[in-house]
Each structure stands twice: as structure tokens, then as C-alpha cells.
């Protein structure tokens, strides 16, 4: 095994720059004989959690870091040597993202100098010259012996001379040179996909990409022995890679999450406070004495919660729910939290787990040791009040909405790759029309042939092959509609955040790996259509239990499930959802044949028919199905008046906040009037979605 350590690697979490996942990169590193590898994505640490998973799977040690691009054209790799240095790196990225906004990071050299303590800085120069020499001298002044100059092959005619001149410039500035491979993918076969993501990023086709293409072919990961052979003229640059790896001992496992302190503690431990609240709730629920079954279950749950250290989490969720109830905001816990007697007694959930014989270990288990996940739905019209209360109570430096990673699915992958390869728009539309819902399976050859297309055509075949490789690749970071992370200390000591949306850079999986809080405050698209649905006398799903059996009704929603079991003799079962709940519909075979197109192609439908109740089971026996996709699409063309400050720290200029209770309401959202020039209202266009 060689001494070389690869320190310049980006993954597909650099968003349309790298062509391999962290897991693929670490698996390849293990096969090639690497003992350690640096992971430094562009202006983000979004890939480090997946890289840490790769470390645990392969045994190849990950050196977490980031590549930062400065406004003056400089680029550096930054690697923290210690836990405190990691916090400085995440604060630096938070600073840049706060300036740049969504998808951007604006940093200057002065910012690097202010956060450089205990960071290793590797300058990434392209060509030697006076500017590069000045940058190297700056590097030496700020980083001292922790500053390095990267030497990377570029496959140019003067490459050898260029590397020698860079090495000489580094020595003259007192900076040590270090060899890097500038890796973009784990194997050579990913080069075509790399070109495609570059074309997608640059909004052009492969044919017009030109010099915007990532230069030279072999940007794949190589063995230590191969890199030592390629840089045999620079043996100290090879040794420097191992020296940097030896310095950077920080591991993600050193990050310890701390639950936020709750006011209810009052000198007690979190476990004591939770036990006291639960006992008081149980006595209020059973004034004549707590039944033995409940007492045994309470003791069992509290014991397991104490063993796993989850009491602070339960206290935090209870505080949020209690505040919601105090304000008169409707809320309801759901999911596996309904299996908890503690949640039931505290009022977080409304289902009695003892009466329904629900298993607590499905929610919290000592064997799985997974953090509990309590989803709480809040009244959509007042959900923002709770979001702002969380910020005010826990502090904007300790609370944030989490990010989710938007990944390519089949439809988006085919559309983007087809555009990048120059397929006609009509052909791309035909191909994406074959995709069902949110499929991630690609398009089978048989479906291609059903369109009378030649599945063996080179460009068409290449499109489908590359689309399959692109499926699952991160496209960008998006904001979770209501998932919060709360900490006791500064949140940007753990991960970078973007103040405008308070978003965690590494996504919801990062929250799980850091054992952080998960709390969902969700809405629904049909809430925007409810005034029109009420005018059409379409009932809400939640109202079905109170409607008389046998009455003819009409209910509408987005389709969740279509089922046509083989044992049902042609009967189709369909589940729809509106903002209040779900409804079940039944189509007899003759009705299914009449409304096949609507039921199989629409995203939103209305079901008209007879209400049938059998005990607690409620169905709509459908006589007619109406396609309401046009209504769903209309959400995307609505003009919504949005004032600054939704989920962020923006003020309202001293004026009233229109989200406050009692603020005068005008027209519905669907017919919101355009403001005058003096009002300077900001109009945003809400994009529609496919809700299959």
C-alpha cells in the first residue's frame, strides 16, 4: 500500500459537478487500497454524512472538508484538524450562504483569514504567475505551516513545466506543495454522465458545452501506487498528503447533539420532569386511580425512555403541543407515536394505545436504538404562528427548518438527459409520458417499442442509459415544509445554515445521524382550492363520518393509491386525500371501464356516489369520476402576496404582520389583488407538482 492520500474529491453532493455518490467513492477507494480519503464538495459539507457511512462500511477513513470558491477567483480546500475547527468551517460556510442566498456562497479572503485557526488550507492554482505567487504569500501569512499548494495534472502540452513552476512558486512563498487527483467520479465509465451533468448545470447541450466541459478524461479515483508513479518527480508532494491526513484527526463521531433546555425542568433532570408531567396527566385522566395496565405501561415506557436518554425530546414536543393548545391552534400527533401511552396522556396523540393494544416498541426500541420520530400536524392557517414561536422560544441561532435533498426520479432524469443530448422536445415529452408517478425504475425497452421507436438508436439508448445512472442523484437542496432541528448550543457549530430559510445543508438524513429532533408541521395543496370546492358543494374527507349512510355525496382529493386486486373480480379501490384526511372509493367493473382514463391518468379527481358505512369502514360507491387536474394545475398560476419573514428573521418595517391573529383578511388567495406601486407587494409564482 502506498503512502499517497487523495485529498481532492467531490461527490454528487456538489450538485451537478460530481458524478458519483460518496458510497461509490469510498467503495472504490477500498478496492484501490486507500487507507484514507478527503471529501470536499463545493461550498458545502452535504456529502459528509454519506461519506461517514462509507467509512463505516469500507474502513477507509474519511477526512471531512469543503472546497470554497472566493469572489476574487481563488479556490481552496479546507480541512478541519479538530472538532473546534469543524465548527469554524461550518460557521464560515453559513456566513457565505447567508450572503449568497439559495444555491450560492459568497466569501472573501478576509473571511478565510478570520476562520482559519486549526484548518488546513490547500490553494488550488491553475497557472503559475504573479497573481498565484501573491495568493501563496497570503496563504503562508494566514495558515503558516498548515497552508499547501495543490499540484494537479491537467493533460496539457506544457503540464510538466507548469507543475515545476507551481512547485517553485510554492517554495519561494514558503508553502509546501501537495499532490491531488482532482477526482470527479469513482470509475472511468462515469465520464459520459459527468459531461451530461455539466451540460445540465450550464443549461446547454453536449454539442455546445465546449470548454465548459470538465477538462481531461481521467478524473476518476486512482490507486496510491498510480498517483505516486504520476508524481514521481515530486516525492515531497506525495509525502505531504500523508502528513495532512495525519494532522486531520477530526471525525464526525465527535459531534454530540445536545437537546435544548426546557423551562419545565426547574432544577430537575429531564427524566424527572417527564415522569412528573406524565403522572399528573395520568391522575387527571383517571381521577379514581390509574388502572394497573396503564401504570405498568407508563413505567415500562419511562424506563426505556430513561435508558435511551430521550426524555428531553418528549419534553420539547410536549412544550410545542402545549403552546399550540394554549393558543387554540388545532394540532394532532400521528404515526408510530400513537403507540406511546406517554404521548397519549400528555395529549400529543389522541389514540389510547392500551385500548387498541398497540406495541410501544414499534415507536421506540432498545434494539433498534433509533431516535423517536413524532409527526405533529398543525392547523394550516395558523401553522406559521407555531413556527415563529419556535424561533422566538429557542432562538434563531439554535433552531432551523431542515433541508431535504431533491433527487432525480425517472421522469426528471429522462427529461434533463434528453435535453442535454439534444433530443427533440416532442420525443422527450413522449418518453416522460411513459413514466408512472414517482417511478425510479427507468423506462423498459418494451415501453419504448410501444411508441414505435427504435430502442437501439444510439442517442436514444444513450439517453435511457444515462438517465438510469442519474436517477437518485441529488439535484439541489430544498426546504422541508415543517421539519425542525433544535439544539442547546449554536446550530452552525454542527452544520452550515442559510438564514433566509434556516435550512440544514446536509438534509434530513443528517438530522437522523446527529440524533436530532424531528417534528413535522405540514400543509396540503387542496387548502388553496377549498373556497372553490366549497362553492361546488364538495364535502371534506373529514366530514364523511358525520354524513348519513346512503346519502349521495361528492368528495375530491389527490390520488394516493389505486388497487385492483386479482381476487376482487375487476373492482377498483382508490384512496384520495384532501387537506382534512382521506376517503376510500369503490368502482365496479362497468364504471371502471367508463372512467378508466380519468382514474388512471389524473392526479386529482372528484368521486360522486353513494356513501356506504359498515361499522367504522366508510366507502364512496362511485357513480361518476371527474378529472380535476385543471384545478390542481391552477395552483401554479395563482398570485400569492407574501410579505418578508416567512420562516426567517426579516422584519416588517415596524408595521403589522399579516399573519398575526386578527389581521384584516381580504380576498381568497386564489383572487388576491395586485398591490399598488406604493404598496410594493412581492408576488411569487407557486410551482405546481405531480401528486401521484
CATH of the domain at 543: 2.40.50.140
Spatial separation of the C-alpha atoms in residues 244 and 179, rounded to whole Å: 11
Residue partners of 201: CB distance under 8 A and separation at least 6: 16, 17
pLDDT above 70 covers a percentage of the chain that reads 86
Burial bucket for residue 452 (CB in 10 Å: 0-12, 13-18, 19+): exposed
pLDDT of 457 > 90? The answer is no
User: Quick one: 682 and 546 in the same domain?
Assistant: yes
Lowest mean pLDDT among 154-163, 189-198, 379-388, 630-639: 630-639
pLDDT of 508 > 70? The answer is no
Spatial separation of the C-alpha atoms in residues 45 and 186, rounded to whole Å: 19
pLDDT above 90 covers a percentage of the chain that reads 53
Average per-residue pLDDT in the chain?
A: 84
Averaged pLDDT, 116-135: 95
Q: How confident is the model at residue 434 (pLDDT cuts 50, 70, 90)?
A: confident
Give residue 166's pLDDT: 96
Helix locations, 173-223, DSSP H: 191-202, 206-209
Give residue 557's pLDDT: 93
Tell whether 200 is covered by a domain. no
User: Quick one: 32 and 177 in the same domain?
Assistant: yes
Beta bridge partners of 151: 179
Which of 477, 500, 533 corresponds to the end of one domain? 477
Q: Which of the pair, 2 or 26, is modelled with greater confidence?
A: 26
User: Quick one: 249 and 281 in the same domain?
Assistant: no
User: Quick one: 415 and 338 in the same domain?
Assistant: no
Each residue of 290-311: pLDDT tens digit?
Answer: 999 999 999 999 999 999 989 9
User: Quick one: 437 and 367 in the same domain?
Assistant: no
- Show the domain range for 413: 408-477
Give residue 366's pLDDT: 80
Give residue 397's pLDDT: 85
pTM for the predicted model, two decimal places? 0.71
Give residue 690's pLDDT: 40
Give residue 637's pLDDT: 62
Question: Structural domain tally of the chain?
Answer: 4
pLDDT of 505 > 80? The answer is no
pLDDT of 6 > 50? The answer is yes
Q: How confident is the model at residue 277 (pLDDT cuts 50, 70, 90)?
A: very high
Nearest Cα to Cα of residue 558 among 437, 669, 670, 668: 437
Tell whether 7 is covered by a domain. no
Which of 477, 495, 514 corresponds to the end of one domain? 477
Tell whether 29 is covered by a domain. yes
Question: Torsions phi, psi of 563, nearest 5?
Answer: -135, 135
Give residue 517's pLDDT: 42
Nearest Cα to Cα of residue 551 among 561, 571, 537: 537
Number of neighbours of residue 436 by Cβ within 10 angstroms: 11
Each residue of 308-335: pLDDT tens digit?
Answer: 989 999 999 999 999 999 999 988 888 8
Spatial separation of the C-alpha atoms in residues 596 and 593, rounded to whole Å: 5
User: Quick one: 374 and 454 in the same domain?
Assistant: no
Question: Which segment, 21-25, 263-267, 630-634, is predicted with the most confidence on average?
Answer: 21-25
Averaged pLDDT, 275-288: 93
Averaged pLDDT, 661-666: 50
pLDDT of 560 > 90? The answer is no
Which of 477, 509, 536 corresponds to the end of one domain? 477
Averaged pLDDT, 72-89: 96
Each residue of 220-245: pLDDT tens digit?
Answer: 999 999 999 999 999 999 999 999 99
Amino acid at each position: 500500500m502506498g503512502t499517497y492520500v487523495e485529498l481532492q474529491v467531490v461527490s454528487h453532493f456538489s450538485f451537478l459537478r460530481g458524478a458519483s455518490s460518496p458510497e461509490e467513492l469510498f467503495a472504490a477507494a477500498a478496492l484501490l487500497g486507500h487507507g484514507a480519503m478527503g471529501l470536499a464538495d463545493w461550498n458545502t459539507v452535504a456529502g459528509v454524512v454519506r461519506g461517514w457511512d462509507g467509512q463505516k462500511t469500507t474502513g477507509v477513513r474519511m477526512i471531512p472538508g469543503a472546497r470554497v470558491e472566493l469572489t476574487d477567483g481563488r479556490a481552496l480546500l479546507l480541512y478541519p484538524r479538530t472538532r473546534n475547527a469543524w465548527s469554524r468551517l461550518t460557521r464560515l460556510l453559513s456566513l457565505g450562504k447567508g450572503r449568497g442566498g439559495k444555491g450560492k456562497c459568497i466569501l472573501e479572503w478576509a473571511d478565510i483569514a478570520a476562520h482559519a485557526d486549526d484548518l488546513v488550507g490547500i490553494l488550488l492554482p491553475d497557472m503559475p504567475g504573479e497573481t498565484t505567487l501573491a495568493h501563496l504569500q497570503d496563504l503562508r501569512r494566514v495558515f503558516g505551516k498548515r497552508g499547501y499548494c495543490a499540484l494537479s495534472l491537467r493533460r496539457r502540452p506544457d503540464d510538466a513545466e507548469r507543475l515545476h513552476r507551481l512547485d517553485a512558486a510554492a517554495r519561494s512563498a514558503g508553502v509546501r506543495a501537495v499532490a491531488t487527483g482532482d477526482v470527479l467520479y469513482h470509475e472511468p465509465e462515469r465520464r459520459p454522465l459527468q459531461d451530461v451533468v455539466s451540460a445540465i448545470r450550464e443549461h446547454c447541450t453536449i454539442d455546445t458545452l465546449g470548454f465548459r466541459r470538465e477538462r481531461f478524461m481521467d478524473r476518476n479515483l486512482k490507486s496510491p501506487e498510480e498517483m505516486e508513479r504520476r508524481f514521481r518527480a515530486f516525492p515531497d508532494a506525495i509525502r505531504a498528503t500523508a502528513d495532512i491526513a495525519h494532522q486531520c484527526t477530526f471525525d464526525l463521531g465527535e459531534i454530540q447533539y445536545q437537546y435544548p433546555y426546557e423551562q419545565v425542568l426547574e432544577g430537575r433532570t429531564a427524566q424527572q420532569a417527564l415522569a412528573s408531567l406524565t403522572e399528573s396527566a395520568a391522575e387527571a385522566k383517571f381521577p379514581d386511580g390509574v388502572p394497573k395496565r396503564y401504570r405498568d405501561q407508563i413505567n415500562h415506557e419511562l424506563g426505556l425512555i430513561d435508558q435511551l436518554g430521550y426524555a428531553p425530546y418528549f419534553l420539547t414536543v410536549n412544550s410545542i403541543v402545549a403552546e399550540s393548545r394554549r393558543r387554540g391552534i388545532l394540532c394532532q400527533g400521528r404515526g408510530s407515536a400513537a403507540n406511546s401511552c406517554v404521548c397519549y396522556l400528555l395529549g400529543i396523540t389522541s389514540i389510547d394505545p392500551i385500548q387498541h393494544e398497540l406495541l410501544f416498541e414499534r415507536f421506540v426500541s432498545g434494539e433498534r436504538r433509533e431516535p423517536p420520530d413524532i409527526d405533529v400536524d398543525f392547523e394550516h392557517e395558523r401553522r406559521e404562528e407555531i413556527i415563529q414561536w419556535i424561533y422566538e422560544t429557542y432562538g434563531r441561532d439554535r433552531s432551523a427548518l431542515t433541508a431535504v435533498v431533491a433527487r432525480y426520479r425517472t421522469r426528471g432524469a429522462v427529461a434533463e438527459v434528453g435535453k442535454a443530448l439534444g433530443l427533440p422536445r416532442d420525443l422527450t415529452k413522449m418518453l416522460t409520458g411513459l413514466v408512472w408517478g414517482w417511478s425510479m425504475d427507468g423506462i423498459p425497452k418494451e415501453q419504448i417499442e410501444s411508441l414505435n421507436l427504435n430502442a437501439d438508436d444510439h442517442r436514444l439508448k444513450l439517453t435511457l442509459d444515462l438517465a438510469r445512472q442519474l436517477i437518485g442523484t441529488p439535484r439541489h437542496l430544498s426546504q422541508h415544509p415543517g421539519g425542525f432541528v433544535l439544539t442547546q448550543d449554536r446550530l452552525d457549530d454542527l452544520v452550515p445554515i442559510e438564514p433566509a430559510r434556516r435550512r440544514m445543508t446536509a438534509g434530513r438524513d443528517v438530522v437522523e445521524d446527529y440524533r436530532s429532533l424531528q417534528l413535522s408541521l405540514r400543509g396540503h395543496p387542496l387548502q388553496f382550492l377549498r373556497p372553490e370546492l366549497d362553492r361546488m358543494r364538495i364535502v371534506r374527507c373529514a366530514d364523511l363520518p358525520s354524513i348519513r349512510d346512503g346519502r349521495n355525496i361528492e368528495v375530491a382529493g389527490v390520488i394516493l393509491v389505486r388497487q385492483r386486486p386479482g381476487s376482487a373480480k375487476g373492482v377498483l379501490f382508490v384512496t384520495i386525500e384532501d387537506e382534512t384526511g382521506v376517503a376510500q372509493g369503490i368502482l365496479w367493473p362497468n364504471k371502471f371501464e367508463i372512467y378508466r382514463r380519468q382514474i388512471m391518468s389524473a392526479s386529482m379527481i372528484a368521486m360522486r356516489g353513494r356513501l356506504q358505512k359498515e361499522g367504522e369502514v366508510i366507502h364512496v360507491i362511485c357513480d361518476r369520476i371527474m378529472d380535476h387536474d385543471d384545478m390542481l394545475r391552477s395552483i401554479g398560476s395563482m398570485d400569492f402576496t407574501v410579505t418578508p419573514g416567512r420562516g426567517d428573521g426579516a422584519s416588517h418595517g415596524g408595521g403589522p404582520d399579516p399573519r398575526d391573529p386578527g389581521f384584516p383578511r381580504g380576498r381568497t388567495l386564489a383572487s388576491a389583488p395586485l398591490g399598488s406601486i406604493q404598496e410594493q407587494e412581492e408576488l411569487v409564482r407557486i410551482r405546481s407538482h405531480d401528486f401521484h
